[in-house]
Structures are given as C-alpha cells and as structure tokens.
Amino acid sequence: MKLTNENLNKYINLYLNDVDDYGEETEFLLAESVLSPIKGLLVEAKGDGNLILESQLKESSTYEKEIIEDFMLYVENV
C-alpha cells in the first residue's frame, strides 16, 4: 500500500488520538515518542513515506517496532 507523506502524517495524528482516547497514558507517551520523529521525517522527505516507515522499522528497538507495526496495521484497517 503506497500512501503519500501527507496522508501518513494524518494517519499518525489519528492513531495518536485513538491511543490517547482508548489506551493507557504510558501507551500514548511511548507511541508519541516513536511516531513524532517519523512525522518530522515525512514532512522533510520527498520520497515514499512507506520507505521511511520500513527504514525506521529496521532501525528500531523491540518496543519501537511493536508501535510502528501496530501503526501500520492501523493504517491498513482504517
């Protein structure tokens, strides 16, 4: 699935709002700490946002990978 960087930023905002509304505070803080830097990369990037997500996924720690994978699943199901 190929999405524009702008759409990915919108989905990150929606995901964070849902985590804030339905998750624990620590879940939100962790998700925000992982996804906010990715939002910055998407704003600056001219390429495919999916490649940025994949790159971040490869470079991430275990808990960061879980958050990014959960976000990617969220995008597929929205």
pLDDT tens-place values along the chain, 78 residues long: 567 888 899 999 999 999 999 999 999 999 999 999 999 888 887 778 888 888 999 999 999 999 999 999 999 998
Locus of tokens 């971040």: 56
Supply the range of the domain harboring residue 39. Answer: 5-77
Count up the domains in the chain and report the number: 1
* pLDDT on residue 10: 93
Residues near 68 by beta carbon (within 8 Å), at least 6 away in sequence = 34, 35, 38, 53, 56, 57, 60
* pLDDT on residue 2: 63
7 contacts 56 by C-beta, under 8 angstroms: no
